[in-house]
Amino acid sequence: MTGPTPRTIAEHLAATLARVHPLETTGVRLDAEGVLGLVLARNVVAVAPVPAFDNSAMDGYAVRLTDLPDDGAQVTLPVLADIRPGHPAGVVGAISGPFCPDSEDTSGQELRPQPWGAVRIMTGAPLPHGYDAVVPVERTSTGRFVAGRPTTERSVTLGRQHRDHVRRAGTDLAAGDLVAAAGAVVTPGALAASAAAGLTTLPVHRRPRVAVVSTGSELAGLGSTAPGTIPDSNSLMLAALARAAGADVVRVGAVPDDPGALAAVLDRVAGDADLIVTSGGVSAGASDVVREVLAAGTAQHVDVAAVAMRPGRPQALATWRGVPWVAVPGNPVSALVSFTLFARPAVHRLGGRRGLPHDRTARAARGWASPAGAEQVLPVITGHDGVAPAAHDGHHLSALPTADALAVVPADVTRVSPGDEVTVLPLGDDA
């Protein structure tokens, strides 16, 4: 195996993403557990209009505008029926036929239309056939409805309003309209819109399966106090990061610095993983087991890199039994930075997300030093006054509990001053 390939962050990210492709498409029911966070593989279009029918936008009375004076003058109409949500509107006809005489003596008199009357209607209830507006109850002689009380008013006095207070069928979405675009993440709102538009399943990419392995003979289980050992914190952190990125995770406990043991673990997890992430063993030390395994010949497409970044310079990529493998350093801050910059985008691409995590710019709330010749990736805390290092030394483990973003400082910058603009990459799962 040749020496490490010098790279920038952007170059190593491109090399990582070249190894992964969106997973296959499957149909998942809207009410299936785990549907949230999956990524749409195709555009989702409405199969039914939203709203499905003309319905009332207010509690009030359905009326015909032809029964109300144009000038808004008040009229008194009989109350013909009571319509609640969930019940068909049906047809509400005239009280006593379509016409009535102007006076008792009908001889030679012209007949005029008889008002149909008003229909008591609640928000969301279907508008009766032939009716075209709703007058809110608070703008009528009734004043308000009492919950649970049936219709008691025989008539109501009301007038024409500026708005009709009717939600027309298909005014939100018509059949065939786009509900959500391919590449979008399934959110609670997307589920609601899809269900309302008549869908029962969504075309999504399968959720990626990520195997997380930490290496190092010094790693011990939680709570261990054995001399010379440290708790295996990396696998916990990387597994959590992978889940936050949208993956199902198989977390393997620490593997000792034994090439045979590591190869056996890789063989086991490769059978059910879409991506392998290991931490530790990628530098140039005598105990760097990942470098030994990469040099042994079983791994394919081995790519060892020296990325001009701090922390996280030693990186490696490979394929094991056909599964892409991202190897990151063992220092916890280096591992978090490396996963965020390289493995998280790989998980997103496997899951079908398009594009890269969104970075942004922010002002530095206070200054800090940056190493010459390497891009600094510093855990920071964002606030109303800008960003600041999450700890006195941002490369210490104590910076991680409070950090909510990474500041990326260019290689030619050796000092960030208060007020300077810096690129910031959020650490949240929606980044």
- pTM for the model stands at 0.85
Establish how many alpha carbons lie within 13 A of residue 154's alpha carbon, considering only the half-sphere containing its beta carbon. 1
- Give the pLDDT confidence score for residue 346 in this predicted structure: 98
Nearest to 244 by CA among 106, 181, 336: 336
Which phi-psi region, left, alpha or beta, contains residue 201 (left: φ > 0; alpha: ψ -120 to 50)? beta
The reported pLDDT for the residue numbered 362 is 96
Least confident span in 81-90, 159-168, 299-308, 416-425: 81-90
pLDDT over threshold 90, residue 408? yes
Residue 90 pLDDT class (50, 70, 90 cuts): low
More confident residue, 184 or 392: 184
Split at pLDDT 50, 70, 90, the class of 1 is low
Query: Peptide bond before 227: cis, by omega within 30 degrees of 0?
Result: no
User: Please, which residues bridge with residue 275 across strands?
Assistant: 210
As a whole number, mean pLDDT of residues 123-139 equals 96
Altogether, the residues listed in the chain come to a count of 431
pLDDT, position 92: 60
Q: How confident is the model at residue 113 (pLDDT cuts 50, 70, 90)?
A: very low
What per-residue confidence (pLDDT) applies to 225? 81
Q: Three-class SS string for 247-313?
A: CEEEEEEEECCCHHHHHHHHHHHHCCCCEEEEECCCCCCCCCHHHHHHHCCCCEEEEEEEECEECCC
44-48, 125-129, 218-222, 342-346: the lowest-pLDDT one: 218-222
Question: Rounded distance, CA 334 to CA 313, Å?
Answer: 8
d(C-alpha 93, C-alpha 77), whole Å = 13
Predicted local confidence at residue 45, as pLDDT: 98
Q: Which pLDDT value is given to residue 104?
A: 41
CA angle 222, 226, 231 (to 5 degrees): 30
> At residue 106, does pLDDT exceed 70?
no
Contact between 327 and 351 under an 8 Å Cβ cutoff? The reply is no
Q: Tens digits of per-residue pLDDT, 214-224?
A: 999 999 888 88
Rounded to whole angstroms, how far apart are CA atoms 86 and 229? 65
Residue 134: what are its φ and ψ, rounded to 5°?
-130, 135
**What gap in Å lies between CA 303 and CA 249, rounded to an integer?**
24
Maximum Cα–Cα distance for the chain, whole Å? 116
Summarised one tens digit per residue, pLDDT across range 373-406 is 999 999 999 999 999 999 877 668 888 999 999 9
138 secondary structure, DSSP code: G
DSSP string across 27-46: EEETTSTT-TT-BBSS-EE-
Model confidence at 99: pLDDT above 70: no
- pLDDT of residue 148 exceeding 90, the answer is no
DSSP character at residue 17: H
Give the whole-angstrom CA distance, residue 74 versus residue 71. 9
Average pLDDT of 123-142?
Answer: 96
pLDDT above 70 covers what percent of the chain?
Answer: 92
Those residues with Cβ within 8 angstroms of residue 32's Cβ, 6 or more apart along the chain or in another chain = none
The predicted structure's pLDDT at residue 91: 56
- Supply angle C-alpha 249, 253, 255, rounded to 5: 125
- The 155-158 sheet, strands edge to edge: 133-136, 60-63, 118-121, 75-83, 155-158
More confident residue, 283 or 269: 269
Name every residue whose Cβ is closer than 8 Å to that of residue 421 and which is 6 or more positions away in sequence. 361, 362, 363, 364
pLDDT at residue 93 tops 60: no
Taking the C-alpha atoms of residue 16 and residue 234, their distance in angstroms, rounded to an integer, is 21
For position 396, what pLDDT does the model report? 82
Cα–Cα dist 48/196, whole Å: 8
Under a CB-based contact definition with an 8 Å cutoff, are residues 422 and 381 in contact? no
Domains and CATH numbers, the chain: 5-23+206-350 (3.40.980.10), 25-51+171-205 (3.90.105.10), 53-92+112-168 (2.170.190.11), 360-426 (2.40.340.10)
**Average pLDDT estimate for 335-360:** 93
The dihedral through the CA atoms of 105, 106, 107, 111 has a sign that is positive
Amino acid at site 306: A
305 within 8 A of 317, measured Cβ to Cβ: yes
Overall average pLDDT of the 200-217 stretch:
97
Backbone angles phi, psi at 9, to 5 degrees: -60, -45
pLDDT value at position 149? 76
pLDDT tens-place string over residues 227-268: 889 999 999 999 999 999 999 999 998 999 999 999 999 999
List, as one string, the DSSP characters of 163-189.
S--EE-TTSSB-TT-EEE-TTPBP-HH
Task: Please say if the pLDDT value at position 97 is more than 70.
Answer: no
List pLDDT tens digits, range 149-173: 777 899 999 999 999 999 999 999 9
Q: What percent of the chain has pLDDT over 90?
A: 81
